[in-house]
């Protein structure tokens, strides 16, 4: 597994829509909270690209678009939770609040509704990244 610097966190953003990927990266910026290291982004537009990135390791958070086609982020979230050892936390973007049951089915660690609310996205991502950083510190 690839190791990465303690000075950066890697967020993988999956969507077939480049505008959705841009909304996520712009909402999070390079440092969504002062107590977290800087973020680098790995953008993926296909399921195989996501799986390759996760198999390499070094990803601290996944943000999956539940409305992506042909493979939606909800099914992909469930798949990576089953198949990737030490899977990082997954935040899914759902089409509407009523789809929260689908997010629970997917085993996602958090969900927010689209269109992307930058404050909600940053809040959920920061919570998941803080737990990831704490887990890394305990593993040392």
pLDDT, averaged in runs of 10, over the chain (140 residues): 63 97 96 95 97 96 96 96 95 90 94 94 97 79
Q: Residue 125: inside a domain, yes or no?
A: yes
d(CA 55, CA 89): 14
pTM recorded for the entire structure: 0.92
Q: Residue 57: inside a domain, yes or no?
A: yes
Residue 83, domain extent: 8-135
- The total of structural domains in the chain comes to 1
Q: Residue 28: inside a domain, yes or no?
A: yes
CATH number at residue 53: 3.40.50.2300
CB neighbours of residue 48 within 10 Å: 9
Q: Under the phi-then-psi rule, with left for phi > 0, alpha for psi from -120 to 50, and beta for the rest, what region is 4?
A: beta
Q: Residue 2: inside a domain, yes or no?
A: no
Residue-level pLDDT at 6: 57
Residue-level pLDDT at 138: 74
């Amino acid at each position: 597994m690839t190791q990465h610097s303690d000075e950066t966190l890697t967020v993988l953003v999956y969507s077939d829509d480049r505008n959705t990927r841009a909304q996520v990266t712009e909402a999070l910026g390079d440092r969504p909270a002062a107590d977290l290291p800087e973020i680098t982004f790995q953008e993926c537009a296909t399921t195989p690209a996501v799986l390759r990135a996760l198999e390499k390791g070094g990803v601290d958070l996944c943000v999956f678009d539940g409305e992506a086609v042909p493979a939606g982020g909800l099914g992909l979230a469930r798949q990576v939770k089953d198949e990737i050892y030490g899977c990082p936390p997954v935040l899914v973007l759902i089409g509407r609040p009523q789809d929260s049951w689908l997010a629970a089915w997917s085993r996602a660690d958090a969900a927010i509704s689209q269109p992307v609310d930058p404050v909600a996205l940053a809040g959920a991502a920061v919570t998941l990244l803080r737990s990831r950083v704490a887990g890394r510190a305990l593993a040392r």
